[in-house]
Structure 1
Amino acid sequence: MLGAEERQEVSAGYPSFVHGIRESDWPHLRLGEEDMRLIQGKRGEHNRLGMGVQLTVLRFLGRFQTDMERIPEDLVLRVGEQLGISDPLAKISVYGENGDTVRNHAREIRQEHGWTSFAEGETQLVAWLEERLKYSTDGPKAMTLQAVVWLREQRVLLPTHSTLRDVVTHCRAGVEDAMFKALVSKMSLRQVGIIDWLMEVPADKRTSRLDSLRRDVGEPSWDNFAKALSRADEIRALGFVDVDVSSIPDRKLAQLADHALTERVPRLREQTGRRAAVLAAIKRLETSALDDAIDMLDKLITERFIAKPKRWADKALVDAYPKFAPDGTLTAQALLAVLESVAESVDHDSGEITDPVTDTSTIRAVLETIAERNTLVLAAKNLLEYMPARDSDTHEARRAKALERFQDVQTLVPVLIDRVRFGASPAGRTALAALHALPPLLDREDVQLDDIDTTLVKGSWKPLVEGDPEQSDGAVNVPAYALCVVETFHRHLCKREIFVQGCARWGNLLARLLSGEVWAQEKPSLLTSLDLPEFPSTYLDLAASSLHADLAAVASRMPEGAQLTHNNGDLALPKGRPPRASSLSRQVQKMLPRVELPQVVLDVLSRTGAIAAFTTRNGNPSPYPEFELSVAAVMVGYGCNIGLEAVANDEKDALKLDRLTSISREYFRPDVIEACTTAMLGAETDALNTLHLDGERLASVDGHSFVIPTPQTGLHIAPEGNSEVTWLTMLTEQAIQLSGRMVSGQPSAALEALNTLTTYRDLTSVRDSRHPEAIVAEAGTHEDLVFGLLTLSGYSYQPTSDQTNDPRLWRIDKSADYGPLQGATRRQIDVSQIAAHWEDILRVIGSIHHGAVSAHDALRILTRNGQPTHLGSAIASVGRIAKTRHLLRLYDNPEYRSGIEAQSRLHKERSDLARRICHGIDGPFPNYYPGLENRLGVLGLVLNTVALFNTVYIQKIVEKMRAQGKDISQSDLRQLSRMMYSHINMRGRFHFEPPTDTMFEIPDLEPDPS
């Protein structure tokens, strides 16, 4: 029976012997030469054994265990075996009887290896915690584990879990209290009064004034857009715009604001720091409310002026098709007949070429064989009526339909100019000036070309703006010009070449890059963390020599006559082929235990100890009996998308609907899901190590796209008028989902990986198997830039050959001879451009790493009108170096190529498994709802449990096969999929019961009939 302290240690993941020692940890615990020297000086085998055990315990726990009876027998036996001591269990009992000897040995080990007591190291720990807590948003549990890492690194003996937790809690409370006081001190008495007034509930209302401010205004409409602007104005009018909170780290401020914006106001009023939290919320709302309004503007312009007119135009074209299709056929036949008649004729026997017949009578006769002249003329005229003009584009019909929305433009433009403060980069200034000049023109009937900016009137806008038949020469079609200006303005706004002052998402991206004193202060630590030099010469010399060496090495191994490139100069990369199902795969599938999905979930939660991650918000274990059954039911209900009602059972307390609903709200938090993932990842890594299948820190990123019929605020609207979201997941080489995030539209998966990894990299002292070093994902557009951003951020970007858009090789050394690769490497990288922009390159990468801008925003900063800026070209040049080296390895190294393709294939198999598990709704989700991200996060956990369950039982099956004489190669093992699911029942009425040792028996090996 575990004591209270041990239960807390297990729940918190604190070093303990409760679950024994993992096999993968034993190599690190083995006694070394220095240990042996210390041990051999002791008299008696029991003293030598005790000293060895104490050294091993210290290495594993980070503290001494003076009660020898609480040390696992396995540890004593292994130490005894290493020391050549017989009957170690008896001798350790003798050793433990003399407490003075045990304590003296512990003191000697401390002195010899430089360990200090916790009492001596507590002051330094507190200072470290206070400094880290100023910036970190981690909870008590995460900070306690980070403190464990720090204490081990500093060789300070760990205290009990409760002692360390109390120190962390006390430091956290002190730092938070100091932050609260700092924020409140920035306000005047009047502003403090406004804060208290916001939390009050008026007598005639049911909600507080703060509640009304934090609610959005509803679905996109022109009236609601005006209300959204009024909400933003109301928030700014509270009088907190000039309150400077820049001394508080952004992450801490965001966490405090999130708390105030989600916590119920009655509870918020009772909490310490409530005024500081409401201030943080107001500062957040000052920007987010305006962002929300511009989000709505973006959706309205896209839907009303682009998507809906396009649907109208497409429908009109489809409706008119029967009217012009026959005329198109007739006109095409006539044209082909004429072209054949005027073509040169060649006598195949003599080779004589006869000039074509071009006289009018002959051509007329040819045409009459198709149809009469008047019929052909009418057909051509009818066809031209429905087709765009020759110098037009495919948008003409849609833009012509958009003119019906001119009344909306007349309403919108004055509101934009009067109520929103816009700014612009050089690329967007012309469009912004045209927008500001538009209101006086909207009601005029005599607008001339000299009154407008004709540089904006391009493509199909030109005939629409200048070709109004009812106007005199030089007159302008005002509705068409107004729509042209609004569409151009919107395009620049989406690129942030026009930005909104006072916004975060729609604000000036360049202004968010680290600069001035902030950059000077942060630069040294960021460069150290990113392993980038301050000056470019060292970096470029190493890059040039590495690229030259790779090109020369691959060229030397090229066989004669090998096809290196396609006609366009792209490298001819070998195409990956999925491996065929081996006999081992078929046999393993037969031997995997037949189970139901709840059994899989319960087995993994119990096996990994992941159930301990499901704590209360205060970090305490759950008080519910049979808690693991409730957690498993919620995971199955949400993971299968069938809801909690389908898994509830009123006959069992742990499965009652009220219990499941409460647990789903209180325990399935993002931090809990992450902690549970960590436990599963550790268990999966151990199992793969046992099978000797551990590899590089490789991760892939891919997404599931959802189309939501009703346009939602904050989501990208597709041309069809639907909202688009993508659930992007990062999958480790161990088949465990590392992260999942709902994003608008279909962004670059590689850049999303950089955003995700930047978040994890915030804890630079904790770099474990959760932190991949290589990324497999699609780059999207601007592939070279993506390569550059990931490479400079310290990651190896490794897309598959199918994910590579532009497989061209580059060189730095113009004079080098690369033999067979000479023609393929004719493009040269200008390293002087990289050197000239090095400081700005560091600033961009540092800003991404610091969290000042996202990788997607950085891409917007580095491009203009679809092309890289000068700075973007410099980063793209860095990317071309990395890409060329990657392409060479793809071409030349089959093992490297197969590893990348296997990871990409693993993600696709996982997507198939996700569709099989999440069967509650076929097709797209009918609507976006708050909490959909958490549902998909739970689906990720269920997928992790299936992958881990399969790995564990594959390991058992392989061990059984080998014990029965089956020869299994590592290459066959690597081809086994951990996403098999034919043995798991995922439908029906589920039954939940704790797993037993005999529940999943492995059958004997059957001969493979093939």
Structure 2
Amino acid sequence: MPVSFLSNEQRENYGHYTGAPSPHDLARYFHLDDADHALIAQKRGKHNRLGFAVQLGTVRYLGTFLEDPLAVPVPVLQSLARQLRIEVGSRVLAYRAGEQRWQHRTEIRRSYGYVEITERQVGFRLTRWLYALCWTGTDRPSVLFERAVTWLVTHKVLLPGCSTLERYIARLRSRVEERLWRPLGRGISGEQQKKLENLLLVPAGSRTSPLDRLRTGPVMVNSRSLVLALVRLSAVRELGIRLPAAARIPATRVAALARYAGTAKVGAILRLPHPRRLATLVAYAHCLEASAQDDVLEVLETILRELFGDAIKADRKARLRSLRDLDQAAATLAGACQMLLDTGLPDAELRTRLFEKIPRTTLTQALEGVNTLIRPADNVYYRELDAKYRTVRCFLPALVENIRFGANAAGEPVVAAFDWLRVHMGRKKPGNDAPREVVGKSWRRHVLRDDDSVDFHAYIFCVLDELHTALRRRDVFVAPSWRYADPRTGLLDGAEWEATRPIICRTLGLSADPEPTLTALASELDHTYRAVVDRLPDNPAVRFETTGDKHDLVLSPFDKLDEPASLVALREKVAGLLPRVDLPELILEIAARTGFTDAFTHISERTARAADLPISLCAVLMAEACNTGPEPLIRGDIPALKRERLSRVDQNYVRDDTLTAANAMLVNAQSRLVLATLWGGGEVASADGIRFVVPVRTVHAGPNPKYFGVGRGVTWYNLISDQFSGLNDITVPGTLRDSLILLAVVLEQQTDLQPTQIMTDTGAYSDVVFGLFRLLGYRFSPRLADVGGTRFWRIDPQADLRPAQYRFGTPCQLAEDRTVLGRYVAPGRFAQTRSGAGRRNHAHTPGWRPANTAGTGYRGIWPDRQDHPHADLHR
């Protein structure tokens, strides 16, 4: 572990003023109370009294004394002089040359209880606190350094030297890492250790190691890709890696080691010390099973969606081709029925007259044609599915052999049927004892024959159909898993929830009793409705239109405002003042102004920096942003722009975590600009997605006919502040609804801006999102399309809210129905952990997982429509 991890700026700012303290800090650290005044009054001379007060405020604010006690910002000196009624003059400034300042330091330490870090009790408490942070978290050394400084200042411990504290934190982190490595490698047998070491060896005649192959997940969506994913899962399980239960190793630490093994080069892992190398491989093998299992189910879910979707399309095409024959047969039967309904024909002559007009053979052919061509209302397209049985037969044996599902009550029939297939899949005669609870009404006619035996092919497709539905609803799950785990995992219930509920409610700023919160919410909603109704007569932009028995709310659109001539002239003048610069010059200037390239650290050697590294980083970022590749930026005469240098920088410095850190530095730098503060204060952010078509078949893209037509694509979901800076982004398959990832993109942004009002479009709206944002203290402000057709819900059933009452449905009794708010606070469960393993995985597990979604939402009972919250959460 390198000892030097602080930047030059951090070293220079350590124990010094970095600017004038804020008014809040002046009032907190530099205010003199009666006891301070009494102690200061004992000093002889104005310069001694002011100097003593300055040193007292400095040690409170910085945690240390300055070499020059009066080297403080002017507002500090003025504030203390004003409190002591002393004018700052040349005689006062002579304090810095006197000997009294040394005695004053000793007196301040003795009177106010300041101690050195070398005292045993102080060192023990600090070590125990930092050790717990290192063991349970993955904070960077610089973050631990800042938190240690805050702890020292809070507990009146004088700051040690910068290098002393830096070495102390480095040694502590090394101790924690060694403690982590020992239990991870202790439970590994010699055979398992040999298997793990062999993962790093490149076999003769190959260019990749087994570890590289295990790290490569599926990218295509087909049966072969699914089989290869199952083979990968089987290879991971063959390693037999299980963490010792008694070690109680935090999951975050194991995941951090696994992330390193998943991105570092094999050569870098080979150079690690043996204990660390073994622990890293153990952690990666442990976490890889969950990732590999998720990849299998992701490909399976996509294959099943395409399989049943293609069956529907094939049925439609066949039906279009057979419409002519169906019309002819239907016309023949219609003629026969017309004669049958003719009351003028005697019953005795009906059959004779009918066959004279329509021969028996013609009528029989028409009846057989209609029976063949008609489709039941709950058609499952079995004929088209059965034609794809060979495709299913390719992956199904490996699937049932390697995947073990768990289920809730709704998914138990699916798991029972899946387990039966595991036993009977390889038999020539599977038997007739298949569980039939999974066979629904629509499948019964295909699965069950006339003799009550089971059609094996139809039963397989029935099970796959129900499995596909259960996977989307999360009625079935697997373990271990990141995205397809049991939704109830991590939820508190029973006595554990009752013990934790006060802490959770206090964190959310809510009462442990839901009644006051729900009553206040109902009162607020009812008051808002009444206020809106009172203003409706005076609002010409709102009206109600009646069409038949329907009453629609109509909002008049905003009128277009013409740009004044002054604005046009200002825009032209500003455009004329802007210099014309090349993009490389622009990014290099921003790097020099903000230093965002410091956030890019080496993947294995965190402090490794090469000469002119910012130039190479800017070139790589420019090549990626312009999608040109490095070719236009390569210069053989400049070492920082040589091909091998750019390739090495791209592989070792540009990663998700470094890009996130660099973006945070850019956002923070922009937030300090005067112009940005005029645009907004950072309290408002807008989230929206941009759709991109993916031209290749990949597991990471999804179909969405609304945006991609017949193709597949992804959604780039972005969060932008009112200062026009991008706070966070997530890339997900194009099939996911925006509301599923909204909370993830809001909660996981790592900039200094903390927006409290989130604006979205209709795609990110759902009743559950309203409730969750309310719980977390955010103001959710969606821009809803077609608001006139939306049904609202009222609280007071006796309230006369006409004409707005046209849009109201059944009154909502919040206290009885238990809203999302009540479900979280009162008798329900609370999510203890957040899920997700990597940026790509957030497409399937939003960062915040609702604990119990049954009930009603922020606006009342669920409207009966497609964005029902259960469909929203399990789609």
**Shared fold (TM-score greater than 0.5)?**
yes
- 2:780 corresponds to: 797
- 1:638 corresponds to: 624
- Report if aligned partners of 1:602, 1:629 keep a CA contact under 8 Å in 2: yes
Q: CA deviation at 1:779?
A: 6.4
- 1:972 corresponds to: none
Alpha carbons of structure 1 residues 458 and 585: separation in structure 2 relative to 1, 3 Å: farther
Residues 144-155 of structure 1: matches in 2 within 5 Å? 144-154=145-155
Residue deviations 1:617-667, cap 9 Å, x none? Answer: 588766444444333323322222222222233343333333333333333
- 1:423 corresponds to: 406
**Aligned to 1:747, which of 711, 736, 746?**
736
Aligned equivalents of 2:200, 2:805: Cα separation in 1: 72
Query: Does 776-785 or 28-37 show the bigger shift?
Result: 28-37
Residues 519-534 of structure 1: matches in 2 within 5 Å? 525-534=503-512
- Report if aligned partners of 2:836, 2:847 keep a CA contact under 8 Å in 1: no
- 1:492 corresponds to: 470
Aligned equivalents of 1:675, 1:881: Cα separation in 2: 42
- 2:337 corresponds to: none
Q: CA deviation at 1:12?
A: 7.5
Aligned equivalents of 2:672, 2:467: Cα separation in 1: 55
**Aligned to 1:724, which of 695, 698, 713?**
713
Q: CA deviation at 1:220?
A: 4.4
- 1:712 corresponds to: 698
- Report if aligned partners of 2:834, 2:849 keep a CA contact under 8 Å in 1: no
Residue deviations 1:403-449, cap 9 Å, x none? Answer: 3212223444444444432333333344455556679799999999x
Residue deviations 1:26-55, cap 9 Å, x none? Answer: 544556883498688576665566567656
Aligned equivalents of 2:237, 2:246: Cα separation in 1: 15
Alpha carbons of structure 1 residues 808 and 251: separation in structure 2 relative to 1, 3 Å: farther
- Report if aligned partners of 1:810, 1:880 keep a CA contact under 8 Å in 2: yes
Instruction: List alignment gaps of at least 5 residues for structure 2.
Output: 332-361, 864-875
Residues 498-897 of structure 1: matches in 2 within 5 Å? 498-515=476-493, 525-559=503-537, 563=542, 581=563, 583-584=566-567, 587-588=570-571, 590-592=573-575, 593-595=578-580, 596-616=582-602, 623-688=609-674, 691-695=677-681, 697-713=683-699, 715-716=701-702, 722-759=711-748, 769-778=752-761, 780=763, 783-802=766-785, 807-815=790-798, 824=807, 826-834=810-818, 837-838=823-824, 843-848=829-834, 871-874=852-855, 876-878=856-858, 880=860
Q: Does 1:306 align with 2:308?
A: yes
- Report if aligned partners of 1:755, 1:855 keep a CA contact under 8 Å in 2: no
Alpha carbons of structure 1 residues 123 and 501: separation in structure 2 relative to 1, 3 Å: closer
Alpha carbons of structure 1 residues 622 and 519: separation in structure 2 relative to 1, 3 Å: same
Residue deviations 1:240-298, cap 9 Å, x none? Answer: 34743782222211111122333344433432422222221221123322322222322
- Report if aligned partners of 1:614, 1:622 keep a CA contact under 8 Å in 2: no
Aligned equivalents of 2:533, 2:278: Cα separation in 1: 68
Q: CA deviation at 1:613?
A: 3.1
What residue identity is the alignment partner of 1:171? L
What residue identity is the alignment partner of 1:724? G
What residue identity is the alignment partner of 2:308? I
- 1:363 corresponds to: none
- 1:403 corresponds to: 386
- Report if aligned partners of 1:613, 1:675 keep a CA contact under 8 Å in 2: yes
Aligned equivalents of 1:805, 1:848: Cα separation in 2: 37
What residue identity is the alignment partner of 1:728? Y
- Report if aligned partners of 1:186, 1:243 keep a CA contact under 8 Å in 2: yes
Aligned equivalents of 1:587, 1:495: Cα separation in 2: 55
Q: CA deviation at 1:788?
A: 1.7
What residue identity is the alignment partner of 2:287? R
> 3-state SS of the aligned residue for 1:741?
strand
Alpha carbons of structure 1 residues 813 and 310: separation in structure 2 relative to 1, 3 Å: closer
- Report if aligned partners of 2:215, 2:262 keep a CA contact under 8 Å in 1: yes
- 1:8 corresponds to: 7
- 1:283 corresponds to: 286
- 1:170 corresponds to: 171
Q: CA deviation at 1:132?
A: 1.7
- Report if aligned partners of 2:728, 2:748 keep a CA contact under 8 Å in 1: no
With a CA cutoff of 8 Å and minimum separation of 6, indicate the structure with the bigger relative contact order: 1
What residue identity is the alignment partner of 1:233? S
- 1:253 corresponds to: 254
What residue identity is the alignment partner of 1:873? A
Aligned equivalents of 2:283, 2:126: Cα separation in 1: 29
- 1:131 corresponds to: 132
Aligned equivalents of 2:669, 2:156: Cα separation in 1: 27
Aligned equivalents of 1:618, 1:277: Cα separation in 2: 13
> 3-state SS of the aligned residue for 1:142?
helix
- Report if aligned partners of 1:678, 1:770 keep a CA contact under 8 Å in 2: no
- Report if aligned partners of 1:135, 1:249 keep a CA contact under 8 Å in 2: yes
Instruction: List alignment gaps of at least 5 residues for structure 1.
Output: 332-376, 762-767, 864-870, 884-1010
- 1:297 corresponds to: 300
- Report if aligned partners of 2:738, 2:764 keep a CA contact under 8 Å in 1: no
Aligned equivalents of 1:97, 1:823: Cα separation in 2: 82
- How many percent of aligned residue pairs carry the same amino acid? 27
- Report if aligned partners of 2:771, 2:858 keep a CA contact under 8 Å in 1: yes
Q: CA deviation at 1:227?
A: 4.0
Alpha carbons of structure 1 residues 221 and 389: separation in structure 2 relative to 1, 3 Å: same
- 1:21 corresponds to: 19
What root-mean-square deviation, in Å, do the aligned CA atoms of Structure 1 and Structure 2 show? 5.4
Instruction: Compute the TM-score of the two structures, normalised by the length of structure 1.
Output: 0.66
Alpha carbons of structure 1 residues 529 and 230: separation in structure 2 relative to 1, 3 Å: same
Residue deviations 1:193-227, cap 9 Å, x none? Answer: 55456556667876655455444477444344334
Alpha carbons of structure 1 residues 716 and 881: separation in structure 2 relative to 1, 3 Å: same
Kindly tell me the number of residue pairs found equivalent between the two proteins.
807
Alpha carbons of structure 1 residues 696 and 263: separation in structure 2 relative to 1, 3 Å: closer
Q: CA deviation at 1:476?
A: 9.2
- Report if aligned partners of 1:307, 1:718 keep a CA contact under 8 Å in 2: no
Q: CA deviation at 1:187?
A: 4.1
Aligned equivalents of 1:280, 1:806: Cα separation in 2: 53
- Report if aligned partners of 1:616, 1:666 keep a CA contact under 8 Å in 2: yes
Aligned equivalents of 2:458, 2:526: Cα separation in 1: 56
What residue identity is the alignment partner of 1:95? Y
- Report if aligned partners of 1:700, 1:775 keep a CA contact under 8 Å in 2: yes
Aligned equivalents of 1:226, 1:872: Cα separation in 2: 35
